[in-house]
Amino acid sequence: MKRMILFPLILLLSLCMMITVSAGTTTEAEQETPEAAADVLVIYFSATGTTKGVAEKIAALEEADLYEIVPAQAYSAEDLEYSNPESRATMEQNDPAVRPEIAGELPDLSQYETIYLGFPIWWGQEPRIMDNFVESVDLDSKTIIPFCTSGSSGIGESGANLEANAGSGTWKQGQRFPGDVSDEELKAWIEEMKGAGAMIMKIGDKTVDVTWEENESVEELKALAAQGLTISLSMYGGFEQVGSIGQAITRNDVQTTTDPGDIVLYAGDQLVVFYGHNSWAYTRLGRIDLSDVELTELLSGGDVTITLSVE
């Protein structure tokens, strides 16, 4: 009798526990933010694994996706014998028109903005399969960052060759790494590639020297400039040109009296460039290094367009 009562009780308890676990799991799942799809892809070809190792490190540091260019016909040790003038790799490198076939499907690049492109140096150049690859995909509107590994040679003309063969994309100066490159060295290079270069301002066709502030707002403006930013400004009040950045960036407004040449952020999403004085709450962004006369000439003659880019 006792057993008959105990059994349904245990069953009920187990059911309660199962419901609690599954309810807990659901809540956790609901709280999880869906992972954003990577917009960086590391593509590499590696015959003996050295470039693969560097590519994997870059992908880990960048939280990027990886794609390996696999030759339809694998390179054997004899194929790679560079002391043999008749080896497959040497013969291929001697003929710039050779295009070794790629195995499998080419990657879908639509979700990616930045592509790291890695390869070994063969006879001072990119292996011909790399030429085949860049000619077979559409790199339009992508930023391509070439890198290579080698015994000792630099990247030489490889990046320029690939850029010419691709015919599209924005290509950065490539970099050679030894197979045992450290994460620190790669990190520093990645930062440099991401636009640690100077932010360049053009007013109309004229490039102007700017001393930029060191603050969060300038960092965010630079990130937008790295994608290419064009701002249409209008003359206002006889002392400034003002135009929308297109989106809000961090503001830390402080009551300010501006001088000619000052560049400030107004209301979080407006860029203002002064050729006169004004007092308002702004976030300082920088200062154009031109004389008052030059600034008046440049900014008081009608509306202007400003373009911002990163070197």
Ligand X SMILES: Cc1cc2nc3c(=O)[nH]c(=O)nc-3n(C[C@H](O)[C@H](O)[C@H](O)COP(=O)(O)O)c2cc1C
Please tell me whether residue 175 binds ligand X under the rule CB under 6 A. no
What the block records as the tokens of 309 is 């880019």
Query: Cβ(273)–Cβ(241) under 8 Å?
Result: yes
Cα end-to-end span (Å), the chain: 85
Which of 78, 303 has the CB closer to ligand X? 78
The verdict on 89 binding ligand X (CB under 6 A) reads: yes
User: What span, in angstroms and rounded, lies between the C-alpha atoms of 199 and 310?
Assistant: 4
**Tokens, residue 214:** 């060191």
What are the backbone dihedrals phi and psi of residue 152, each rounded to the nearest 5 degrees, phi first? -160, -25
The total of other beta-carbon atoms located within 10 Å of residue 64's CB is: 21
Structure tokens of 135?
């000619």
Binding-residue total with ligand X (CB under 6 A): 22
Q: Which is nearer to ligand X, 45 or 282 (CB)?
A: 45
Interface with ligand X includes 132 (CB under 6 A)?
A: no
- Out of 51, 158, 278, 283, the only residue in the binding site for ligand X (CB under 6 A) is 51
In the complex, least distance from residue 40 CB atom to ligand X, rounded to whole angstroms? 20
Residues 146 and 155: their CA atoms lie apart, in Å, by 9
For residue 47, state whether it binds ligand X (rule: CB under 6 A): yes
Location of structure tokens 């292996």 = 127
The tokens for 96 are 């710039």
Q: How far is the CB of 132 from ligand X (least distance, A)?
A: 16
Q: Which residues inside 177-236 make contact with ligand X, applying CB under 6 A?
A: 179
**Spatial separation of the C-alpha atoms in residues 125 and 158, rounded to whole Å:** 5
* Closer residue to ligand X in complex, CB, 150/258: 150
- 60 vs 248, which CB is nearer to ligand X? 60
Q: Is 149 helix (H, G, I), strand (E, B) or coil?
A: strand
Cα–Cα distance for residue pair 49/54, rounded to 1 Å: 9
Q: 83 or 110: whose CB is closer to ligand X?
A: 83
Helix (H, G, I), strand (E, B) or coil at 5: helix
Applying CB under 6 A, among 112, 116, 122, 147 the residue interacting with ligand X is 122
Q: Is 279 near ligand X (CB under 6 A)?
A: no
Q: Of the candidates 31, 33, 152, 247, which one interacts with ligand X according to CB under 6 A?
A: 152
Stretch that binds ligand X, among 21-29, 43-51, 62-70, 103-111 (CB under 6 A): 43-51
Count the residues in the chain.
311
Under rule CB under 6 A, residue 161 binds ligand X: no
Residues near ligand X (CB under 6 A): 46-52, 80, 82, 89-90, 120-124, 149-153, 179
